[in-house]
Each structure stands twice: as C-alpha cells, then as structure tokens.
Chain A
Amino acid sequence: MSLDKATVARIAALARIRVPEEDLDGLAEELSNILGWIEQLNAVDTADVPPMSQASEQKLRWRADEVTDGGIPEKVLANAPAAKDGYFTVPKVIE
C-alpha cells in the first residue's frame, strides 16, 4: 500500500495532528514503507482464527453500578490549561 499526500493529509486530520504541507511527501514515504512491511501478514492463513484482543483470557469483572469517586472538582481542574468557575474552558465553538 502506497499512501499519497492526500491520504496522509486525511489521516492527519482524523488524528487531529497538524502536518505542514512541506512534510506530507516525506511522511507519505515513511508511512508507506511501514505499511508495506506490515503487509507480509497477508501471507498468513487466518481463516477460522478468532481475533485476540486481550493478553489474558479472564472475563471482565462486574461490579455494582454505584458512585465510587468524585466530589473533587478542584483536583479535576488543577491541571487544566484554562478553567473558570468550575469548568474547563476552550476557544469559542459557536459563533
């Protein structure tokens, strides 16, 4: 799989990472090389093989649906780059 500039720009937009126009060609080549190397997996027959999503076979545990934490707004906001009146603040979203 060889990625073109437009595809790299689309991936970057999906990943919310700004990539300057002049870096797109180099990145397209790097990512294409990595994907080309990854495609050796196509040689493996995986018919009827279930996917593995966790390294341990245990089942996820259940617990009672109840509040176990909270009431610490100062701690939650302590690391915010910008906060006001108990809220995180962001640049204006709606004009």
Chain B
Amino acid sequence: MADRALTDLTLAEARDGLSAKAFSAVELIEAHLDAMAAARGLNAYVAETPERARAGAEEADRRIAAGEARALEGVPLAIKDLFCTEGVATTAASRILDGFTPPYESTVTRNLWEAGALMLGKTNMDEFAMGSSNTTSHFGPVENPWRRQGDNRPLVPGGSSGGSAAAVAARLCPAATGTDTGGSIRQPASFCGVVGLKPTYGRCSRWGIVAFASSLDQAGPITRTVRDAGLLLTHMAGFDAKDSTSVDRAVPDFEAAVKRPVDGLKVGIPKEYRVDGMDPEIEALWSRGVDYLKDAGMEPVEISLPHTSYALPVYYILAPAEASSNLARYDGVRFGHRAAAADDLLDMYEATRSEGFGAEVRRRVMIGTYVLSAGYYDAYYLKAQKVRTLIARDFSTAFEKVDVILTPTAPGAAFAIGEKEDDPISMYLNDVFTVPASLAGLPGVSVPAGLDGDGLPLGLQLIAKPFDEETMIAAASAIETRAGFDGSPAAQGREGA
C-alpha cells in the first residue's frame, strides 16, 4: 500500500491498513481533509467537520494501539446531510432547516459511530432529496468529478445523493451514506462511476433521517467497490424499535457475500425495460452485463414486468403525497427558518414556507396536497396505491423464476448542469429504471460497468428478492470483476475541481 495515496484506498483497505498499523487514523483523516480542501469547487460537502474528525482519529489510534479496535475503527466517512447528526447542523439542503442543529443522532449514523467510523463532513444533495441532478440544493449544484472527453462543461453528479457520490468518486472519502426514495443512491452512483446500494425497505432504520416519502425512503452505502458497499451496509443496518417499519431480523456479513458462488443462478432480463428510443450505448452495456453474468455461470431468462411503464406516474403521486404530509412540520414554530415580520400565525406559516422551500419542493408539496385533497383522493392517491400493488406483484411473480434481475441503472450518462431544467417530467424520467424496485420495497444496487462514447461512466442495476441483498451483492461482484472498471475520474487526466 505504500505506493498508493491514502485517499485511493477502499474502505476495506483502509480498515485493514489501520489494523496492520501501516498508517495511522490521524494520517488517513488528514489525507482526506487535504483532498476535501483542494476540491471545494465540486461543492460536494455542505459542511466539513475537521475538529471532530481529528479528535476521533486520535481516539481511534489509541484504541488500535490498545488492541480495542472496533469493526470500522478510524475509517473516515461522508454523511448525506439528510441524516440528523447530534451537535452538527443538518439542513436537507433546504433553507427551511437553516440553523437547525439536531439534539439527537440518527440510528444509522449512531450505528456507524459505535462501530468506530469517523465523520469527515455532511454532503450536498437535492433539497429534501427531491431531484435527480443535485441542482435543487439550497447550497447550489454539485459538480460531477467526471467530464465528457473534449468538453469542459461541468456535469451533474445525479441526485439526490449527488454530493455523496461525487465525494466518493473524487476520493474525498472512501465511502459515504446516501438515501434512496426512487433512485437517489443508484442513479448518482451510475453518473459518478461508483457503487450505490439501496437495501430492502426496513433493513436500515429511518429514525433520525429527514423524511421525504416514508413508505419508500431507505438509507444505503455509496462506495467504490461492491465489497465496500457490503461492508458499510453491515454496519448501517439493523433492527430499531424507534422505526415502526424497521424489520427485526439478523444482519448478515454483507462484505462476505461478494465471495458467494453465483453459478447456476438465474438472472431475469425484463423485456419492458427495453424502452422505445433507448440509447444504443445503454442497450449495449446491458447486453455486456448479461454476458458478464453468463461468464460467471448464471443463466439469463427473459421475464415480464407488465406494469413497469406505470411506475413513474405512481411514484409522482405517492412520493409528493407523502412529502406534503411529512413537510407539514416545517411551520417556522419549532425549528428552522421563520419569516420575519408576519402579521398573524397563518401569514407566518405561508411566508415561512414560501421563503424556506425551493421551487421543486414547493411544486411537489402542491401536487401532493392536490392528490390528497377532498374529491381527488380516490382518483389519484388510491388509484396509485392500487397500481403500486400490481407493480409489486409483477416482481413477486418474476422472482418465482429468477434469483436476481438485471437492468440499466439510468437511461443515460451524466448531463450538463442546467440541462433538463425546463421540464420537470424530463428530469423525472431519469428514475425510470430505479423507481419500480423502490415501489416494491426491493433491494437494488448500481455497479459501474463501463464508459460511454464520451468517456462517462455507466452503471448496471441488479434487483433482488426482499432481504436477499447477499445474492445481489454476489452478482454485482461478478459484474464488477468482469467489467474491469477503473473507477477513477483522475484517469481522465483531471482530479477534483
């Protein structure tokens, strides 16, 4: 490891190097803090927490020296700014949470700190996780560390976990947490050439994560290798009585799942994902993915998920409806922003919310309010819930025949900042391949599988049965091994900002 920069180490390598005393936790943290300072132009972090990281690293070195190291002792992580962190401002990239410092810690981050991990800072994101480009953030857009060959225009990192994905790709942290409601871990992972895993709904506690759409929100890891995604997930997941939808079942060693054999497994190829006007490069990538899995001994099987095309409209009823309810709490009374000089209480509510929410959040809260309003509830909300049932049934039927499902992660590579901003629906279409699994509550992972003609990374998605992340991780590892993806924007001849 001596010839490699500390910021190039994977999470597992960092853990092993610390354990072998090849370097200290303080050295590892300093290397990352230096990289973060040099790449502030990417806007990947909304807050850096160097004092806390340094103090934690000193304690980690002491524990390692004393033989008291925990599973993730001294490894640095970036945390999406949707996770409440005790004593560290948490904004959801929204003005309306201006000044909010949580007096409590989210369960997922508490699990990570109790395993010995250290926080480098909080990462940028789309406001309230509503977006697919990280351009709706109150703190401004994040730049993808990748650029098209021969084109210097800054590209979006995807969203909503865009800061986390960009930070992992740019070597500003070995791994980061993300959250995924309709694709917010997987799509930015695809755009940034990293691994992004959304576990089964109920696997990670939602307690202390700023709520967007509660029946869909799940936390998960963003990393540079499949093995690291398994490692981080192992320490994020677990039963939590404080989340009524948390599932009480044992957390396997997901890191070990990369070594599971996959030969003889069946991989479903859903014909409905071969959408009209599909980018030929995406289609070619998908075919290569099938070949990789065949080479690993898996058998491709064509499957049908007949209600696929209805997933996006279902999502854009249910997610805004849940958001309009969840975001009712932002009233300027108990925390966050309050508009100045209001005449009365109603005036204060309305002024606070119009100042505090950005355009996309206002739009979705209003759509959600409308579909839940008297006279429209049955036509929109109830209808969407029923079609959601059909989408989930499609998957259940398919999983009677196959072990995992392979699809592209996104319909294309990263686009330029400012593109697709005119029409909300064209932005929503980014999530066409990720939303169905979210609606069904299924685990999904995006693994980098190649570069497009412009030299930009593209990801493939694997979807598995509920709580069978291990098979999904094993198959993702088979793709990763065969794709030989370099995974470094630095290989393009540029690094950071």
Q: Which residues of A contact B (CB under 8 A)?
A: 3, 8, 11-19, 27, 30-31, 33-35, 37-42, 44, 46, 49-56, 58, 60-61, 63, 72, 75-76, 78-82, 88, 90-93
Q: How far apart are the CA atoms of A65 and B392 in the complex, in Å?
A: 34
Residue of A13, A18, A53, A75 with most partner-chain B CB within 10 A: A18
**Residue from A15, A37, A49, A79 in contact with B369 in the complex, judged by beta carbons closer than 8 Å:** A15
Complex Cα–Cα for A3 and B370 (A): 10
**Any chain A CB within 8 A of the CB of B6?**
no
Residue of B nearest to A81 (CB): B338
A91:B348 contact, CB within 8 angstroms: yes
Give 9 nearest A-B pairs by CB, closest first: A55-B441, A51-B385, A79-B335, A81-B338, A55-B201, A46-B386, A18-B354, A18-B350, A75-B103
Instruction: Tally B residues with Cβ within 8 Å of A.
Output: 70
Which A residue sits closest to B357, measured CB to CB? A17
Which chain B residues lie closer than 8 Å to A80 at the CB level?
A: 333-335
**CB-defined A-B contacts under 8 Å, sample of 11:** A11-B369, A18-B351, A18-B354, A30-B363, A40-B309, A42-B383, A46-B386, A51-B388, A78-B103, A79-B101, A79-B334
CB nearest neighbor in B for A15 = B369
User: Which of the listed residues A38, A40, A42 has the most CB atoms from chain B within 10 Å of its own CB?
Assistant: A38
Chain B residues near A90: list those with CB within 8 A: 333, 345, 348
Instruction: Kindly report which residue of chain B lies nearest to residue A10, judged by CB atoms.
Output: B373
Q: How far is the CA of A18 from the CA of B470 in the complex (A)?
A: 48
Please determine whether B310 and A41 come into contact, CB atoms closer than 8 angstroms.
yes
Do the beta carbons of B353 and A17 come within 8 Å of each other? yes
Do B342 and A91 touch (CB < 8 A)? yes
- Tell me if B367 counts as interface (CB < 8 A to partner A): yes
Q: Taking A49-B386, A50-B389, A81-B337 as contacts, is the C-beta distance between A63 and B241 under 8 angstroms? A: yes
Asked if B400 is at the interface of the complex by the 8 Å CB criterion, the answer is no
Contact B347 A56 (CB under 8 A): no
Closest to B388 in A: A52
Closest to A89 in B: B333
- Are B313 and A17 touching (Cβ within 8 A)? no
Q: Do A31 and B370 form a contact, CB below 8 Å, given A15-B365, A56-B202?
A: yes
